Amino acid sequence: MIPVPQNRELKPPPLSRRRFVAGALATVAGPQLIPASALGMAGQMPPSERITIAMFGVGNRGLGSLGAMRPLPDHQVVAIADCRRARADLAQNQVNATYAGRLGKEQFTGCEIYNDFREVLARDDIDAVWGCAPDHWHGVHFLRAIEAGMDLYGEKPVTRWIAEGIRVREAVRRYGCVFQTGTQQRSQGHFRQACELARNGYLGKVHTIEVGAPGGRAYPAVAPSEPPEGFDYDMWTGPAPYFPFDTSRCEWLAMYMISHYCAGFITNWGVHHLDIAGWGCPEVFQKPFEVEGTGTLPTEGMTDTWISWNMNLRWENGLRMRFSNSGGPYKQGCRFIGDAGWVHVNRAGISAEPNSLLTVQRKPDDMPLHASPGFSGDRHGYTAHTADFFQSIRTRRDPVSPVEEGHAASTIGNVCDISLRLGRKLTWDPAHDRFVSDDDANAMLSRASRSPWSI
């Protein structure tokens, strides 16, 4: 399917609380923070005008998201759902300390903790959900939040399974949800610069894209044990198959290397740079492609996702993508190669040949890409990506990483995984969300969910 154009206006969701200011504040579209004149005491917006946030999952990524929100005055985190009580307590303390500091108070108690996310969705005072639970929960969390009328910041990949992502993508449009995929590299200026060079012809005709992402690793099996106090392991397992608890499988990074919870870094990390490939060359997301390659799996232990891979993707128009684990052989990041030069971009920076591409004077008819609000010193783009999401909630326009493109980038990693597991060349047709003439591959688009978490 063809991604929805950037800045498409969305209809308001039917059920969620909408208490935002009208006029100029409601149509903020520039890179500025909310103007001081609109803020209340201590730089806070009045409570009735803040975007109210519920966090689903406050592990490493969830805590990082809370930090990214901290410089922005136009929101308030009011609920945390996490099946590990210790993590929920830590995040709650951070949230309350942030708002106490803003208000000049010794204490603030405006954030509540939940073990079951469904209790949060039953509230009528929450505007948006921040989805930071492990990948195997994304489909359930995201769909149920959308159906409850809430906007979503959904961490990548959009879902663990392609069929779940299709459901999420369709629900976003049906319910008028604002959905920001957590591919925050789009909110860093040098990634946008590389993609604009590729899209506007400065490299000539782009014929090859090279993508590298961190590889996986093996983890040894660990003897089963009892979950620690305050850890609802049954809830953590959720829709995935149930295995006896052990001290490794739920932790970073082992859980990313177990296919029941994650497709591995071929998708979970690969999605970042695959997303940039599609932002710079839209046909990557829009057109059918063939894929084949080789990979290495662990030979023992509890993990079963790709340690290394080397994939070849081909489109009918001659475009090729080479996708490997970092250094195997492709450098981490995304490189666009055209007949007039190349540009390579990753989180460390941007380079090009010829180097003059980096200072080229743009033409008036160049197509600019969506620019997120800027924040100096935000090296990873999280705060800018967050501000872009808040801006979209207020304007009801698509954010920089809309669901269609987040799902498409997630799909490419999962398609590569399926091709490797079947050991053969496959053809993916994005217009029909299916593999061409391959029943075995199409059977791998989904898996049965553990009751009661089917979607």
**Measured distance CA(292)–CA(435) in Å, rounded:** 13
Specify whether the CB–CB gap between 171 and 143 falls below 8 A. yes
388 forms bridges with which residues in the sheet? none
Is residue 109 domain-shared with residue 257, that is, in the same domain?
no
Is residue 144 domain-shared with residue 249, that is, in the same domain?
no
Q: Which domain holds residue 425?
A: 189-365+403-445
Is residue 195 domain-shared with residue 270, that is, in the same domain?
yes
Q: Is residue 267 part of a domain?
A: yes
Is residue 172 domain-shared with residue 196, that is, in the same domain?
no
**Would you state the pLDDT for residue 38?**
44
pLDDT tens digits, residue range 347-399? 999 999 999 999 999 899 999 999 999 876 677 899 999 999 999 999 999 99
Is residue 182 domain-shared with residue 193, that is, in the same domain?
no
Is residue 171 domain-shared with residue 53, that is, in the same domain?
yes
Instruction: Tell me, yes or no, if the pTM score tops 0.95.
Output: no
**Measured distance CA(358)–CA(366) in Å, rounded:** 15
Is residue 193 domain-shared with residue 228, that is, in the same domain?
yes
Is residue 200 domain-shared with residue 243, that is, in the same domain?
yes
- pLDDT (mean) for 144-150: 98
**Would you state the pLDDT for residue 429?**
98
Is residue 201 domain-shared with residue 180, that is, in the same domain?
no
For residue 24, the one-letter residue type is A
Q: Is residue 18 part of a domain?
A: no
Is residue 342 domain-shared with residue 218, that is, in the same domain?
yes
Q: Which tokens belong to 129? A: 């959900």
Check pLDDT > 80 for residue 409.
yes
pLDDT tens digits, residue range 412-437? 999 999 999 999 999 999 999 999 99
Is residue 105 domain-shared with residue 221, that is, in the same domain?
no
- pLDDT (mean) for 220-231: 98
Q: Is residue 236 part of a domain?
A: yes
Q: Is residue 181 part of a domain?
A: yes
Specify whether the CB–CB gap between 209 and 317 falls below 8 A. no
Q: Is residue 139 part of a domain?
A: yes
- For the four alpha carbons of 4, 6, 8 and 12, in that order, the dihedral sign comes to positive
pLDDT tens digits, residue range 250-302? 999 999 999 999 999 999 999 999 999 999 999 999 999 999 999 999 999 99
Is residue 217 domain-shared with residue 316, that is, in the same domain?
yes
Among the candidates 357, 375, 395, a domain finishes at 395
Q: Is residue 10 part of a domain?
A: no
Q: What is the mean pLDDT of the chain?
A: 92
Quote the crossing angle between the two packed helices 162-175 and 403-422, to the nearest 10°.
170
Quote the crossing angle between the two packed helices 189-199 and 270-280, to the nearest 10°.
40
- Short-list 347, 8, 316, CA closest to 194: 347
Check pLDDT > 70 for residue 26.
no
Tally the C-alpha atoms within 13 A of residue 230's C-alpha that lie toward its C-beta: 10
**Measured distance CA(256)–CA(136) in Å, rounded:** 10
Cis amide leading into 354 (omega within 30): yes
pLDDT tens digits, residue range 437-446? 999 999 999 9
Q: Is residue 6 part of a domain?
A: no
List the CATH number of the domain containing 239: 3.30.360.10
**Measured distance CA(134)–CA(253) in Å, rounded:** 11
Check pLDDT > 80 for residue 9.
no
Specify whether the CB–CB gap between 220 and 275 falls below 8 A. no
List the CATH number of the domain containing 75: 3.40.50.720
Check pLDDT > 90 for residue 3.
no
Q: Is residue 4 part of a domain?
A: no
- pLDDT (mean) for 237-254: 97
Number of domains in the chain: 2
Q: Which tokens belong to 149? A: 């009328």
